[in-house]
Amino acid sequence: MVYLSYYDLLFSSFFLLAAGILSFCLKLKTEKALLIAASRMVIQLFLLGLILKTIFSYVNLYMFLLMALVMLFAAGFEVRGRQKYKFKGMVTFFIGTGTMGTIAFTLSFLTLVLIIKKEPWYTPQYAIPLMGIMLGNTMNGVSIGLDRLSSGIVSGKKIIETRLMLGHSAAESVADIKRDSIKSGMIPLINSMSAAGLVTLPGMMTGQILAGAPPEEAVKYQILIMFLIAACSALGTMLAVTIASKRFFDARERLCLERLK
Amino acid sequence: MLKIDRLNQEFMTFGPVSFDVKTKEIVGIIGESGAGKSILLKSIADMLPHDGKIFLDEVEQQDIKARLWRKQVALLPAEVVFWNQKIKDDLKTADNEIIKKFGFIPEEILEKNTDDLSSGEKQRIGLLRIFENRPKVLLLDEPSANLDEKNKMILEEIVLDYIETNNASAVWVAHDHEQLKRVSSKIFEITQNSFKEKF
């Protein structure tokens, strides 16, 4: 394995810096978001590296659950933060964490017990990265799906109300918007699965190969992860969008946009 | 018969209101823009939360499913909107005879794009669409606001014919006092904080 120095990382950051400068020159106004996201990524990953080093040395169920909960809550806030229209209070956060938690925990647990079969199943070196990649991808799907849903319902208010007036159910009235929202949430993963190996070498596989793992093993892991994250993201997006779409109506199937901020 | 008993809504400054609409009767409602006429109709259609009771043939609104109520007490909004691309996807059960009664040539109108409709056509298709549910009460929110005299007359004729042949009734909201005198048996006027019969 070729070890990286901090100078190597600094050097690679210059490319991103160049993109930021170009964004500034072209007045794209994305340089600030780029800078913040890149700084967050560096701080978060270094902290994670430090924490993982400690956590990997303790094989403890409660430690794993605590770490998973921290990751889940962070993902919940991220989902909430990415919405143009949020429900009042913490509803969006709870829909996000509830669906991501249920799906990511269940799938991670099943994978660890039935496929990876490492004893105990919560061995942090396997359980935490798996949980992290599942949550991260589900978070993307859920946040895109929820954002499209609420934007679609706000802009389609007149059509939804007309359908309700004609005696359509709440579910029928938002069916098209719901379908499009779920599709939008799933498209990034469908694209990355379709392009995997042809256009891109997926990140995890690249990392493993660069770290010295045999390519066949890296490919097997990558396929496993792709299946899992696609399933997790699809199920999470479907569940979150379905729950949220019901929240837009009261018991008499009236559209309640006042429930949004 | 539609019976409105002390109906009130958060944004109605003139409530509570009570009135009856008998079978084959049209009740007119007139008032300035923003007076709350649409809110009143939306409350009757159970599209907005409200206080008071509304009965259709002695069955209370809250005792039946909202979607069933809305099929029987049908609201035609001031702005008719479409979600399908072609008219034929919007009209599921209307037969050619009914379509002709509305002044359309069935083969032409069914193939038309919803974006290509004139204001008059939109209102008539909107009516045709709610007639598919065979409602007992029509709630008409300024149905002829953007129509010329000819289209206005066609629309009046269609509504009067429907009410007569289906033993239905209607609440007709309009700005045009002359039109309401023509079609309705009584007219209520909404002002800033009152709802009273206009003689």
Q: In what order do the strands lie in the sheet with B73-76?
A: B73-76, B137-141, B169-173, B26-31, B186-190, B195-198
Domain range enclosing A207: 59-259
Residue A95 has pLDDT above 90, yes or no: yes
Residue B179's pLDDT is 92
Cβ pairs bridging A and B (under 8 Å) = 50
Picking from A57, A84, A100, the residue at the C-terminal end of a domain is: A57
The domain total for chain A is 2
User: pTM above 0.90?
Assistant: no
- The four Cα atoms B28, B29, B31, B35 give a dihedral, to 10 degrees, of -160
Same domain, yes or no: A175 and A199 = yes
pLDDT per residue over B8-39, tens digit each? Answer: 999 888 879 999 999 999 999 998 888 889 99
Across the range A164-180, mean pLDDT stands at 96
A58 vs A74 pLDDT, higher one = A74
- As for the ipTM of the complex, it is 0.93
Q: Domain ends where: A16, A37, A57?
A: A57
pLDDT at B91: 83
Residues A131 and A210 reside in one and the same domain: yes
**Same-domain pairing of A75 and A156:** yes
Q: Which of B48, B66, B81 sits opposite A253 (nearest CB)?
A: B66
Work out the pLDDT band at A240, boundaries 50, 70, 90.
very high
Q: Is the pLDDT of residue B151 over 90?
A: no
Q: What is the DSSP letter of A197?
A: T
DSSP string, B110-139: HHSBGGG--HHHHHHHHHHHHHTT--SEEE
More confident residue, B66 or A194: B66
**Which residues are CB-neighbours of A190 under 8 A, at least 6 positions away?**
A230
Fold of the domain spanning B2-198: Rossmann fold (3.40.50)
Tell me which chain B residues have a C-beta less than 8 angstroms from the C-beta of A162: 77, 80-81, 83
Residue B37's pLDDT is: 92
Q: pLDDT > 70: what percent of chain B?
A: 100
Checking if the pLDDT of A1 tops 80, the result is: no
Dihedral of CA B127/B132/B133/B135: which sign? positive
Do A120 and A236 share a domain, yes or no? Answer: yes
Which of B46, B70, B72, B115 is most worth mutating to test chain A (most A CB atoms within 10 A of its CB)? Answer: B70
Same domain, A138 and A207: yes
- Assess whether A251 and A172 both reside in one domain: yes
Report the C-alpha gap between A102 and A95 in whole angstroms: 11
What is the pLDDT at residue B194? 87
Q: Which residues, other chains included, contact B170 with Cβ-Cβ below 8 Å and sequence gap of 6+?
A: B21, B25, B26, B27, B137, B138, B139, B140, B159, B163
Selected for mutation to probe chain B from A158, A159, A168, A252 (highest B CB count within 10 Å) is A252
The mean pLDDT of chain B is: 91
pLDDT in the model for residue B99: 86
Q: Are strands B51-56 and B26-31 parallel, antiparallel or unpaired?
A: unpaired
